[in-house]
């Protein structure tokens, strides 16, 4: 490139920075962030909030643009793109990491958490930090955990009141071998598939149903095609905000610290948004005529999960993590 052209581009670039600083529009460095959920969903709003914090704390140098509604693709693909540095930030469930990062399996095990509070205690403590750190070997930087409530089964066929009722039914799961085994252990059949394909798969009868939390059951519209929802709450899977290590390495250590802190500071805001959205979605879905089975004996569900633990918690490291989670009060 000629010196003149280089100079010309530099002038253009700095003109753009001045213009953006004046208009308050885009920051100098706009991090591209992916989310499968629609605009307004708690995870999307939390990352936007983090972007606001970042812009304030860097005086407009760094911001975030959230590409919601799976504009950049389905989770499994966007995870790869984040590893390659094509996407800077990604808010995803831990489920699709289960086959890649073994530590994520432990906190994705069915019934590993006694409650959302228990999950918060674990993820906010040393075990959470260990799991965040495990991402770096996979070209990702784990920044913060978000809430994903608890996930339960829904289907288009009949109200499920016991493990027996699930026999032979077909459910979509996230792309994680452990979730395939989880459904198998309940006597049903699992089909791993991208989130965006679930609605039509239920509608056309390829599957009988899926499993998710209230806000996703709502925003995906799945309740329109699968109105039987059984609150067996088999999973409390944390969600995570990751950054591409490639994008991370381009930041100064000071900016890295600001990014990490802004991510952490978005968590309490996210939890508030989440709690409010869970209530709103539940009300909306009940009003829409969904048949909710709420009083269900979870003991047989919990007992059925033993083979999943036996198959997936094999190393001493994972066994120790499970024991430490169970011992967390
Ligand atoms: C939602 C998670 C989202 C997952 C989706 C799924 O927030 O990250 O993609 O479930 O089931 O609850 O795939």
Q: For residues 212 and 203, what is the distance between their CA atoms, to the nearest angstrom?
A: 17
The reply to whether 151-236+281-327 shares the fold of 3-101+115-147+238-278 is yes
Report the topology of domain 3-101+115-147+238-278.
Answer: D-Maltodextrin-Binding Protein; domain 2 (3.40.190)
The answer, yes or no, to whether any atom of ligand 1 lies below 6 A from the CB of 73, is: no
Nearest to 176 by CA among 163, 197, 194, 188: 194
Residue of the CA atom closest to atom 1 of ligand 1: 216
Find residue 31's DSSP bridge partners: 64
Most ligand 1 atoms within 8 A of CB, residue of 94, 195, 221 to mutate: 195
Residue of the CA atom closest to atom 5 of ligand 1: 195
The answer, yes or no, to whether any atom of ligand 1 lies below 6 A from the CB of 216, is: yes
Residue of the CA atom closest to atom 6 of ligand 1: 195
The answer, yes or no, to whether any atom of ligand 1 lies below 6 A from the CB of 195, is: yes
Q: Domain segments of the chain: what residues? A: 3-101+115-147+238-278, 151-236+281-327
State how far the alpha carbon of 251 is from the alpha carbons of 66, 90, 145, in Å.
Answer: 19, 17, 21
Listing DSSP states for 293-306 in one string gives E-----HHHHHHTH
Residue of the CA atom closest to atom 3 of ligand 1: 93
Q: For residues 77 and 161, what is the distance between their CA atoms, to the nearest angstrom?
A: 36
Count of CB atoms within 10 A of residue 66's CB? 23
Q: For residues 44 and 26, what is the distance between their CA atoms, to the nearest angstrom?
A: 18
Find residue 153's DSSP bridge partners: 211, 230
User: CB under 8 Å to 29, separation ≥6 — which residues?
Assistant: 61, 62, 63
- Average pLDDT of adjacent 10-residue blocks, the chain of 329 residues: 39 40 69 98 98 98 98 98 98 98 98 98 98 98 98 98 98 98 98 98 98 98 98 98 98 98 98 98 98 97 98 98 98
Q: Kindly report the CATH number that applies to the domain delimited by 151-236+281-327.
A: 3.40.190.170
Look at residue 26 in the predicted model and tell me its pLDDT: 78
The answer, yes or no, to whether any atom of ligand 1 lies below 6 A from the CB of 75, is: yes
The burial of 57, by beta-carbon neighbours within 10 Å (0-12 exposed, 13-18 middle, 19 or more buried), is given as: middle
């Amino acid at each position: 490139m000629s010196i003149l052209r280089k100079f010309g581009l530099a002038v253009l670039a700095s003109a753009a920075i001045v213009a953006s600083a004046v208009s308050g529009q885009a920051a100098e460095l706009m991090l591209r962030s992916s989310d499968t959920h629609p605009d307004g969903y708690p995870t999307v709003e939390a990352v936007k909030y983090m972007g606001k914090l970042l812009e304030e704390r860097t005086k407009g140098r760094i911001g975030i643009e959230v590409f919601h509604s799976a504009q950049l693709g389905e989770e499994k693909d966007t995870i790869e793109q984040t590893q390659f540095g094509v996407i800077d930030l990604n808010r995803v469930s831990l489920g699709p990491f289960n086959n890649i990062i073994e530590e994520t399996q432990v906190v994705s095990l069915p019934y590993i958490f006694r409650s959302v509070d228990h999950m918060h205690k674990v993820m906010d403590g040393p075990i959470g930090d260990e799991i965040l750190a495990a991402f770096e070997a996979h070209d990702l930087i784990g920044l913060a955990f978000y809430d994903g409530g608890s996930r339960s089964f829904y289907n288009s066929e009949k109200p499920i009141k016991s493990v027996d009722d699930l026999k032979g039914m077909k459910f979509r799961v996230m792309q994680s071998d452990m979730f395939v085994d989880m459904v198998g252990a309940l006597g049903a059949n699992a089909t791993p598939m991208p989130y965006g394909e679930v609605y039509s798969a239920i509608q056309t009868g390829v599957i009988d149903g899926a499993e998710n939390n209230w806000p996703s059951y709502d925003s995906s519209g799945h309740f329109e095609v699968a109105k039987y929802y059984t609150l067996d709450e088999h999973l409390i899977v944390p969600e995570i905000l990751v950054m591409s290590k490639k994008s991370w390495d381009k930041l100064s250590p000071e900016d890295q610290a600001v990014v990490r802190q802004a991510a952490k500071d978005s968590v309490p805001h996210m939890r508030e948004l989440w709690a409010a959205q869970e209530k709103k979605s539940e009300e909306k879905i009940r009003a829409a005529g969904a048949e909710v089975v709420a009083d269900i004996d979870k003991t047989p569900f919990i007992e059925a999960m033993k083979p999943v633990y036996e198959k997936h918690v094999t190393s001493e490291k994972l066994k120790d993590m499970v024991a430490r989670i169970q011992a967390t009060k």
